[in-house]
Chain A
Amino acid sequence: MNFLNNMSLKSKLILPIVIFTGIIFISSQGYAFFNAFETQKENLVNRVSVLTKGVAYNLQAAILFNDSLSATEVLDAFSADSDVIRVKLYTANGQLFAMYEREGATAPVPTEKERIEIRENKLSIGNEHIFLLVPIEIEGDTIAQLRVIISKDSFQQLYNSVLTNSSIFLVLLIVSGMVLYKTVDKFIVGPVYNLNVGMNAFINRKQKGGNIEPAADDEIGDLVRAFNTMLDRLSQREQQVAYTLDKLEEEKSFANEVVETVKHALVVVDEKGVIVHFNGATCDVFRCTSAFLKGIHFVDLIDSDDVDFIHQALAQKLEFTDRQIWNNDVFKQSQLLQMSCTKLTKRRQILFSIQDITEVDAALSKQRLAAGVFENSQDGLMVTDQDDVITMVNPSVTRLLGYSQEALLGKKPVDTFEWQQFCSLMPTIKESVTQYGQWQGEIWEKHLFGHKVPMFVKVSRINSREDHDRCDFVYILSDLSSVKEMERLEYLAHHDSLTGLANRALLYRVLDDSLKDEREAKNGLALLYLDLDGFKLVNDTYGHDAGDEVLKQVAERLLSQVRSKDLVARLSGDEFVVLLTSTDKKSIPVLADRLISLINQDVVYRGRVLNVGASIGVHYVDKRSLPMDELIKAADTAMYKAKSQGKGQFVLSESN
Chain B
Amino acid sequence: MSFNRLILLISLFGVGFASPALAKFTPQQVKAVYIYRIASFVHWTRDAQMPVINICVPDDSEIREILENITKDKEIRNKPILVGSQNCDVLYISKKESLNMIDISQKQAISISDIHDFVELGGVIELTTLGGRIKPKVNLNNVGEFTISSNFLRVADIVGGDK
Contacts and interface: CB of A to CB of B under 8 A. Distances in A.
B133 A66 contact: yes
Interface in B66-103: 74-76
A61 B12 contact: no
Of the four ranges (under 10, 10 to 19, 20 to 34, 35 or more), the interface on chain B belongs to 20 to 34
Name B's interface SS: mixed
A91 interface: yes
Contact of A63 (B13, B17, B19, B134): B13
Contacts, number: 69
Interface stretch (B55-63, B107-115, B139-147, B151-159): B151-159
A92 B12 CA distance: 6
A65 B126 CA distance: 13
Contacts of B152: 61, 65
Interface residues of A, number: 23
Given A60-B151, A64-B13, A139-B40, A93 B18 contact: no
A88 to B, nearest CB: 14
Contacts of A61: 41, 149, 151-156
Given A61-B149, A63-B13, A74-B154, A139 B76 contact: yes
A64 B37 contact: yes
Contacts of A62: 154-155
Contact of A144 (B14, B74, B149, B154): B14
B155 A70 contact: yes
Interface in A88-125: 91-93, 95, 97
A160 B13 CA distance: 46
A143 interface: yes
Interface string B1-21: 000000000111111111101
A138 interface: yes
A359 B163 CA distance: 162
B123 interface: no
Contacts of B15: 66, 91-93, 95
A63 B15 CA distance: 8
Interface string A488-519: 00000000000000000000000000000000
A59 to B, nearest CB: 8
A58 interface: yes
A67 interface: yes
B43 interface: no
Interface string A46-66: 000000000001101111111
B134 A65 contact: yes
Given A61-B149, A64-B37, A67-B135, A92 B13 contact: yes
A62 B151 CA distance: 8
A93 B154 contact: no
A64 B134 CA distance: 10
Q: Name the residue in B13, B15, B19 with the highest tally of chain A Cβ atoms < 10 Å from its Cβ.
A: B13
Nearest to B136: A65
Interface in A114-160: 138-139, 141, 143-144
B126 to A, nearest CB: 13
A66 B37 CA distance: 13
Given A61-B41, A64-B37, A139-B76, A91 B154 contact: no
Nearest to A95: B15
Contacts of A67: 135, 155
A64 B76 CA distance: 16
B127 to A, nearest CB: 10
A137 to B, nearest CB: 11
Nearest to B21: A93
Contacts of B19: 95
A58 B154 contact: yes
A57 B15 CA distance: 17
A58 B156 CA distance: 13
Given A65-B134, A66-B16, A93-B15, A141 B151 contact: no
B62 to A, nearest CB: 22
Contacts of B41: 60-61
A138 B154 contact: no
A531 B152 CA distance: 227
A97 B155 CA distance: 14
Given A61-B154, A67-B135, A139 B12 contact: no
B142 to A, nearest CB: 19
B41 to A, nearest CB: 6
A576 B15 CA distance: 218
A70 B155 CA distance: 6
B149 A139 contact: no
Contacts of B153: 61
B153 to A, nearest CB: 8
11 contacts: A58-B151, A61-B153, A64-B13, A64-B155, A65-B34, A91-B12, A92-B14, A139-B40, A141-B10, A143-B13, A144-B14
Interface of B: 10-19, 21, 34, 37, 40-41, 74-76, 133-136, 149-156
Given A65-B135, A91-B15, A93-B21, 19 more contacts: A60-B41, A61-B154, A61-B155, A62-B154, A62-B155, A63-B14, A64-B155, A65-B155, A66-B13, A66-B15, A66-B16, A67-B155, A73-B154, A74-B154, A93-B15, A139-B74, A139-B75, A141-B11, A144-B14
